[in-house]
Structure 1
Amino acid sequence: MNMSRARERLVVIGGDAAGMSAASQARRLKGPDELEIVAFERGHFTSYSACGIPYWVGGDVTDRDRLIARTPEEHRARDIGLRLRTEVTELDLDGQRVRARDVDTGEESWTSYDQLVIATGARPIRPDMPGADAAGVHGVQTLDDGQALLDTLEGTRGRRAVVVGAGYIGVEMAEALINRGYDVTVVNRGSEPMSTLDPDMGCLVHEAMEGLGITMVNDAEVTKILTSEDGRVRAVVTQDREFPADVVVLGIGVRPETALAQAAGLPLGPHGGLLTDRSMRVRGHENIWAGGDCVEVLDLVSGQDRHIPLGTHANKHGQVIGTNIGGGYATFPGVVGTAVSKVCDLEIARTGLREKDAHRVGLRFESVTIESTSRAGYYPNASPMTVKMLAEHRTGRLLGVQIVGREGAGKRVDIAAVALTAGMTAEQMTTLDLGYAPPFSPVWDPVLVAARKAAAKVLGSL
């Protein structure tokens, strides 16, 4: 600790969910006379919902500012020294200081710290191919990215869009572009969209996307992006086809933004994310903390570290970090991998392991798939729902659940997320006392129908 100052200084790198949650929570527990807080953010915005960007681009959210939970002015009013448009370029761990550069002026300076929070987030994957950095090619991870894409859409005469990748971002951006009147083609390397699902469930998403008028191209690898004489994108090329494009959105996924951490010698996991203990302290470093999309987290089902970039985790990480820095005690035990999304009115949800995840960690399992409805079959507007469940061979321990259906389907995954966290078996799930009334579910909720079938299959395999 630097004893030349009467108070500690907390330096935060990254002004979104994890970083500013940590700063805000630390401020709640320690006043300005005890703790000085300096936060660096290279963009224009703080504390915003990146998950809401596709809905802003698509027009469901009409005002960008509605995605901002707390403005820079609000943070500063709480005695958090926030420096926008300032990028940290180097960590000096021995000297306990960071070098920062003003993005607009290029001016550089060093800032010392007693406690350091690394919340640098993740960056969109840009394929290493000709044309990937051309004008009109966009990754979508930050509000600045979203604004840049909107500027392109408003300034482009053509109405042809190609989305590369069909994960959460790719699927959601495809719908957003359809809503804006574009002809949309999705080029997907996998056999079906949504690789977070097993292919048999991803097929249901495929059908829904084509029903929206989206052209799905599966099992296709993009090899290059062609440009016009003015340097703007004009087409996306795969092994055997060419797709004209006036705008391209990269939905290939993201990687942890850990170049700073790696250069400083901080420990990284197999997916490139920072490794922390349960208190979110970087392993082997007493006064350095990390959270959000730049870290790896423990998967409670597989027992392995994973990179799962979600705002829900980032906010929890920040709360844990801020509590510990502020003198309290908190831990983040891990995740079960729960996520939910939608394509138009089709809801897509998953938690736990897919079949290939279970195979990879050496788990034998039984798999069942059931068809049910969101409400009692006789009640108006009951909609179909498909539930897939994986249970461990012999023990019957729940391993994973995937749900695809219409209204009322997606949030049912929370039942399974709680069961996974509690380590329940499929048979134990069948006795859960869930709420019932015809407008909300059949007598046997679809998740419990799947649990009954899974429990029976486990018993039959003994």
Structure 2
Amino acid sequence: MDMSRVRDVRERLVVVGGDAAGMSAASQARRMQGPDELEIVAFERGHFTSYSACGIPYWVGGDVEERDRLIARTPQEHRDRGIDLRLRTEVVAIDVDRQRVRARDLDSGDESWTSYDKLVIATGARPIRPDMPGVDAEGVHGVQTLDDGQALIDTLARTRGRRAVVVGAGYIGVEMAEALIKRGYEVTVVNRGREPMSTLDPDMGRLVHRAMEGLGITMVNDTEVTKVLTGEDGRVRAVVTEDAEYPADVVVLGVGVRPETSLAKAAGLPLGGHGGLLTDLGMRVRGHENIWAGGDCVEVLDLVSGQERHIPLGTHANKHGQIIGMNVGGGYATFPGVVGTAVSKVCDLEIARTGLREKDARRVGLQFESVTIESTSRAGYYPGASPMTVKMLAERRTGRLLGVQIVGREGAGKRVDIAAVALTAGMTVERMTALDLGYAPPFSPVWDPVLVAARKAAAKVRAS
């Protein structure tokens, strides 16, 4: 008997990447098909699987006391479910023609090929490391994985100085600045944009700027770090911009991420304008019947603009994984696209957005009306009512909702979900004004702030 053909009785699924998308896909595929029908091999180059990268700043800042609280499912739990999970093993090549991947054991250096019948690529995103002198010095950290978070916490524990510089003021930069403030550091944020949070329009980002300065964070906007200076011991001692130098005992890079698609590119798989893999509605890589991709390494359809975007969020990654696992396992599911919803916070300031910013709308050729309103989180007379700013964009003439941004205190952030549902449904701002939202003085004014903005936007559209 030819033993080399015994494996052909069942198919083999190979998963590259062991976090949200990859292990969600593997777990869902296992629910669909048992070990006698489908063999699953998953490769992960780190030490952990199925964890919340979004929770790392809260772990660093002490809100989450233990690292393991961020882990949804351990490697052993995956193995107990019949998934051959190989940690500290990095896939270094994909051979599409021969349907196999080459993996390297990062501890021994050994390499070997593994064949597949079906392949899932879930390689995530990689932090952008500016190409400048000193960026690889000791004390300079990117924060993308649990390993990165642990390395930063270890550095903070042994660093005597209390000066930190955060490079970049997006979600990670802002959240890490707050985490370092909580740890007692003197924090400077160097941001090349006009205001922090480039996912907001600058007028809304200015509200975040004021809140950060209120926490004692020094904001340096409209400038870029050009060099990291080190001391005689090789550790970071300062960062340099075009016209200033900022002392630093630790530096955190928060300038964003790019899709990790170097493997896919080398294998000749299709990439979009943002560098992410292109898939169909079932998350199958375009032009490849037996390859799927999901998570931060793919581009997704923006339902508002109609264009492909790269939006690295755990919510999308988990959904992608579920859809991939369903389709790999013989079922049927699709991912229609996103509207670009995200929330964050700086201490008690909540920041939310969905849909298009002004520059997004202009870029795709949409004409719009923009309104901004001030309201409160509760009835004005009810204790604890706090101010809230809502900005809304509506398409000229049609009144179609295009985007919403919200900045405020408790109760502000999750209000963006009202707008996210309205965007997904293609509602006009006029129709939004009739939404039957819940009301009681402890939760909202009679007219919810989102509906106040919708009323103002509808009036502006009618007058245009």
TM-score by length of 1: 0.99
Taking the TM superposition and a 5 Å limit, the aligned residue runs for 1:346-365 are 346-365=349-368
Amino acid at match of 1:56: W
1:138 is aligned to 141
Q: Which string of whole-angstrom CA distances, capped at 9 and with x for unpartnered residues, describes residues 393-415 of structure 1?
A: 00000000000000000000000
> For residues 175 and 375 of structure 1, what CA distance do their matches in structure 2 show?
26
One-letter code aligned to 2:314: G
Q: CA deviation at 1:231?
A: 1.4
Q: Cα gap change, 1:62/1:420 in structure 2, threshold over 3 Å: closer, same or farther?
A: same
Which residue pairs with 1:12 in the alignment? 15
1:295 aligns with 2:298: yes
Q: Which amino acid aligns with 1:175?
A: E
Q: 3-state SS of the aligned residue for 2:203?
A: helix
- Give the deviation of 1:79 after TM superposition: 0.3
Instruction: Quote the residue 1:217 is aligned against.
Output: 220
Q: Residue type of the partner of 1:325?
A: V
Q: Out of 257, 261, 275, which is 1:254 matched to?
A: 257
Question: In the alignment, what sits opposite 2:288?
Answer: 285
> Match for residue 450 of structure 1?
453
Write the distance in 2 (CA, Å) between the matches of 1:429 and 1:4. Answer: 57
Tell me what 1:371 maps to.
Answer: 374
Hey, what's the Cα distance between the residues in 2 that align with 1:417 and 1:202?
20
Structure 2 gaps, min length 5: none
Structure 1 vs Structure 2 CA RMSD:
0.7
Q: Does the alignment pair 1:27 with 2:35?
A: no
Matches within 5 A, 1:121-270: 121-270=124-273
Q: Secondary structure at the match of 2:397?
A: coil
Match of 1:440 among 439, 443, 446: 443
Matched, 1:385 2:388: yes
User: Does residue 314 of the first structure (1) align with residue 317 of the second (2)?
Assistant: yes
Cα deviation per residue 1:306-360 (whole Å; 9 max; x = unaligned)? 0000000000000000000111000000000000000000000000000000000
Deviation (angstroms), 1:4: 5.6
The one-letter code of the counterpart of 1:86 is T
Q: Report the identity percentage.
A: 87
Quote the residue 2:344 is aligned against.
341
The whole-number CA distance in structure 1 between the counterparts of 2:258 and 2:415 is 29
CA distance in 1, matches of 2:190, 2:6: 57
C-alpha distance in 2 between matches for 1:225 and 1:3: 57
What is the 5 A alignment of 1:10-159? 10-159=13-162
Specify the SS of the correspondent of 2:15. strand
> 2:407 is matched with which residue: 401, 404, 407?
404
Distance in 2 between residues matched to 1:13 and 1:364, nearest whole Å: 42
For residue 98 of structure 1, give the secondary structure of its aligned residue in structure 2.
strand
For 2:7 and 2:456, the matched residues in 1 are separated by 66
CA deviation profile, 1:123-177 (whole Å, cap 9, x unmatched): 1000001011111111100000000100110111111000000000000000000
Indicate the SS of the match to 1:5: helix
**Alpha-carbon separation, structure 1, partners of 2:230 and 2:42:** 39
| Structure-2 separation of matches of 1:238 and 1:90 | 38
Q: Unaligned 5+ residue runs, structure 1? A: none
Letter in structure 2 aligned against 1:109: S
Q: 1 CA distance for matches of 2:265 and 2:301?
A: 20
Q: Distance in 1 between matches of 2:236 and 2:285?
A: 41
**What secondary structure does 2:456 align onto?**
helix
Q: 1:272 aligns with which of 246, 271, 275?
A: 275
- Looking at structure 2, the residues matched to 117 and 17 of structure 1 have their Cα atoms a distance apart, in angstroms, of 12
Q: Distance in 1 between matches of 2:230 and 2:260?
A: 28
- SS at 2:427's partner residue? coil
Q: What is the DSSP-based 3-state SS (H/G/I as helix, E as strand, rest coil) of the residue aligned with 2:373?
A: strand
Deviations 1:181-228 (A, max 9, x none): 000000000010000000000000000000110000000111111111
Aligned residue for 1:24, secondary structure, equals helix
* TM-score, reference length from structure 2: 0.99
Amino acid at match of 2:254: G
Which residue identity lines up with residue 409 of structure 2 in the other structure?
A: R
Q: Secondary structure at the match of 1:101?
A: strand
SS at match of 1:276: coil
Match of 2:427? Answer: 424
Amino acid at match of 1:335: V
The separation in 2 between residues aligned to 1:229 and 1:21, in whole angstroms, is 46
SS in 2 for 1:439: coil
CA distance in structure 2 between the aligned counterparts of 1:30 and 1:317, rounded to whole angstroms: 18
Partner AA of 2:90 in structure 1: E
SS at match of 1:285: coil
What secondary structure sits across from 1:336 in the alignment?
coil
